[in-house]
């Protein structure tokens, strides 16, 4: 049987030259290509140089014995089958040999027939093992692929569900797609059906906003892929593109577009599809939540406007205060999240006045001490009203504390200094400035410069001195007609 096979290489390791020579002759006759070594070191040299199929190893050799050579062979990482040859077999030797990775034994003296049978048995077992490995390799590969997919899926779900707003979610979709495809350039387009365009919403890897695409330009591959809701892969002039459209409940929402120099493949497409599929229900929830939230905000804002309209002296007060507070917040360089909180709280900061009786609220003359105490309840009533809306903790605190004073003599909680929420300190300055520059039944509006001087005088008393400093700088720049967006840097934010 061995004669019919491709010539295989056998390594004989024995210190006895006569035995080596005899075995070489017999094995050559049986169709093997024999190599021989007098000790373990030479055996390792041959294993290093030639792909040996099987090894015959004498147990009793001077210097390194067969078991020690076997250990060295295995420690060097060779999986070659090893048949030990010994004239003194014992149970202990067998156990030790098997533990060290021996494959079989030949007890000296052995016949040529015994040698042939042992070699055939070992090679048969080896072939069987190799064919089994061939079968299990694709399974192992499949298993590794599944583990990778599960890891990706977990990361995607974990990162997406951690998002707290729609804009954060859109940014995270793009970040994940760039990360898992090792791309550095990408855009998330959203469809604006009222204008019939694909609008770049978040992007990475380029300066300035990417171009819009009109939806009627169907020749454009991004538009075509989006409208047909079919992913698109292309590689041209060493630039590769991947377009993955995504929809919410079957309604097209937008497309993820990635670019890199190396061609995208099916795995990149799979990962990006996974990301947009996982993100889709979250996007839907946020859209729903934000529309409910905006409706609610609009309704409460309308209530405040109606309240203020009852009194000609406070008409549009909250709108003006909000607009000035936002200007100051942008000037200081606050984040979009902080600006949005301030916008919400600014519009509604006096909503608690719905709980104050009209004869006090609209009283044309000076208020009595008792009446003033009633008015002072409006921040708490406002916080109570808005506090029923979950996820608005920051905004509730701004409403509750917009009448606190830096020196601790305000209301309702007598907070002082940095105990007062920072956005409430900004709102307080804008609120007071608008109150001073608006007409009152008992006085005309104060001129702008007088109001500014009054605010300056109250820095460190009624107001945060750093907010006052920023407010005065803002007006100074406004008067100079300079651009003042986001160029103010001071310790105010810190
Ligand atoms: Fe107020």
Ligand 1 midpoint to CA 487 (Å): 30
Ligand 1 midpoint to CA 380 (Å): 10
pLDDT for res 486: 42
Ligand 1 midpoint to CA 377 (Å): 10
**Sole residue written with tokens 């979950």:** 390
Please report the DSSP string for 412-437 in residue order.
SS---GGGS-HHHHHHHHHHHHHHHT
Mean pLDDT, rounded, of the chain: 86
> Which DSSP state fits 353?
G
Ligand 1 midpoint to CA 381 (Å): 11
Ligand 1 midpoint to CA 356 (Å): 12
Ligand 1 midpoint to CA 431 (Å): 8
Ligand 1 midpoint to CA 145 (Å): 61
Ligand 1 midpoint to CA 294 (Å): 22
**Sole residue written with tokens 């692929």:** 145
The domain locations on the chain are: 2-132, 166-286, 310-480
pLDDT for res 284: 86
pLDDT for res 482: 54
- Compute the 3-state secondary structure of the chain and give helix, strand, coil in percent, each to the nearest 5: 55, 15, 30
CA atoms within 13 A on the CB side of 66: 28
Which residues are in the CB-under-5-Å shell of ion ligand 1?
350
Give the pLDDT band (50/70/90) at residue 490.
very low
Ligand 1 midpoint to CA 353 (Å): 8
Average pLDDT, integer, range 293-313: 81
CATH number of 166-286: 3.30.450.40
Ligand 1 midpoint to CA 350 (Å): 5
Ligand 1 midpoint to CA 457 (Å): 21
* pLDDT of 2 strictly over 70: no
Ligand 1 midpoint to CA 352 (Å): 8
Ligand 1 midpoint to CA 347 (Å): 11
The model scores a pTM over 0.85: no
User: Facing residues of 84 across strands?
Assistant: 57, 105
Reported as a single tens digit per residue, the pLDDT across 77-130 is 888 999 999 887 777 777 788 888 888 888 888 888 889 999 999 888 888 887
Ligand 1 midpoint to CA 349 (Å): 6
Contact by Cβ (8 Å): 300, 351: yes
Ligand 1 midpoint to CA 423 (Å): 14
Ligand 1 midpoint to CA 86 (Å): 101
Burial, 144: exposed, middle or buried (Cβ in 10 Å; 0-12, 13-18, 19+)? exposed
User: Facing residues of 262 across strands?
Assistant: none
Average pLDDT, integer, range 338-365: 89
For the chain, what percent of residues have pLDDT higher than 90?
40
Reported as a single tens digit per residue, the pLDDT across 372-411 is 999 999 999 999 988 877 557 889 999 999 999 999 999 9
Ligand 1 midpoint to CA 403 (Å): 6
Ligand 1 midpoint to CA 346 (Å): 10
Backbone phi, psi, residue 476, to 5°: -65, -45
Question: Which residues fall within 8 angstroms of residue 307, CB to CB, at 6 or more apart?
Answer: 350, 351, 353, 354
CATH number of 310-480: 1.10.3210.10
pLDDT for res 145: 77
**Sole residue written with tokens 């989006």:** 226
Give the pLDDT band (50/70/90) at residue 6.
low
Ligand 1 midpoint to CA 402 (Å): 7
CA distances, 93 to each of 11, 66, 112, 143 (Å): 22, 11, 24, 39
Ligand 1 midpoint to CA 436 (Å): 13
Query: CATH topology for 2-132?
Result: Rossmann fold (3.40.50)
Helices (H), 30-111: 40-49, 66-75, 91-99
Average pLDDT, integer, range 473-492: 61
Q: Of 52, 58, 54, 45, which is closest to residue 16 (Cα–Cα)? A: 58
Ligand 1 midpoint to CA 385 (Å): 14
């Amino acid at each position: 049987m061995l004669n019919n096979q491709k010539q295989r290489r056998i390594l004989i390791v024995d210190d006895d030259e006569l035995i080596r020579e005899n075995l070489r002759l017999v094995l050559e006759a049986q169709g093997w290509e024999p190599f021989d070594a007098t000790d373990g070191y030479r055996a390792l040299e041959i294993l290093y140089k030639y792909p040996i199929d099987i090894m015959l190893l004498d147990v009793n050799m001077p210097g390194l014995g067969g078991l020690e050579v076997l250990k060295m062979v295995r420690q060097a990482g060779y999986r070659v089958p090893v048949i030990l040859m010994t004239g003194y077999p014992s149970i202990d030797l067998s156990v030790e040999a098997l533990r060290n990775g021996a494959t079989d034994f030949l007890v000296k003296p052995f016949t040529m027939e015994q040698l042939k049978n042992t070699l055939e048995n070992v090679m048969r077992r080896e072939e069987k093992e190799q064919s089994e490995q061939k079968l299990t390799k694709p399974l192992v590969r499949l298993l590794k692929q599944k583990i990778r997919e599960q890891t990706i899926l977990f990361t995607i779900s974990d990162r997406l569900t951690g998002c707290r707003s729609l804009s954060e979610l859109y940014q995270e979709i793009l970040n994940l797609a760039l990360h898992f495809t090792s791309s550095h350039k990408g855009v998330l387009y959203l469809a604006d059906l009222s204008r019939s365009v694909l609008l770049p919403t978040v992007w990475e890897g380029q300066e300035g906003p990417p171009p819009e695409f009109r939806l009627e330009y169907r020749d454009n591959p991004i538009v075509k892929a989006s409208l047909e809701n079919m992913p698109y892969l292309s590689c041209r002039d060493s630039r590769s593109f991947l377009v993955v459209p995504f929809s919410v409940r079957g309604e097209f929402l937008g497309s993820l577009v990635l670019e890199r120099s190396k061609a995208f493949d099916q795995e990149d497409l799979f990962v990006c599809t996974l990301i947009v599929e996982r993100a889709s229900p979250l996007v839907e929830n946020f859209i729903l939540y934000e529309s409910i939230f905006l409706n609610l905000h609009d309704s409460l804002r309308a209530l405040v406007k109606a309240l203020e309209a009852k009194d000609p002296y406070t008409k549009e007060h909250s709108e003006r205060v909000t607009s000035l507070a936002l200007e100051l917040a942008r000037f200081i360089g606050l984040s979009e999240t902080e600006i949005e909180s301030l916008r919400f709280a600014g519009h509604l900061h006096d909503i608690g006045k719905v709980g104050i009786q009209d004869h006090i609220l609209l009283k044309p003359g000076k208020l009595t001490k008792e009446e003033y105490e009633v008015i002072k309840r409006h921040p708490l009533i406002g916080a109570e009203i808005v506090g029923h809306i979950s996820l608005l903790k920051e905004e509730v605190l701004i409403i509750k504390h917009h009448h606190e004073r830096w020196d601790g003599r305000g209301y309702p909680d007598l907070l002082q200094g940095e105990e007062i929420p920072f956005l409430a300190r900004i709102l307080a300055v804008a609120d007071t400035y608008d109150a001073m520059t608006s007409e009152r039944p008992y006085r005309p509006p104060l001129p702008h410069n007088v109001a500014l001087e009054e605010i300056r005088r109250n820095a460190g008393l009624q107001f945060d001195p750093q907010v006052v400093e920023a407010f005065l700088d803002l007006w100074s720049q406004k008067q100079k007609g300079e651009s003042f967006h986001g160029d103010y840097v001071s310790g105010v934010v810190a």
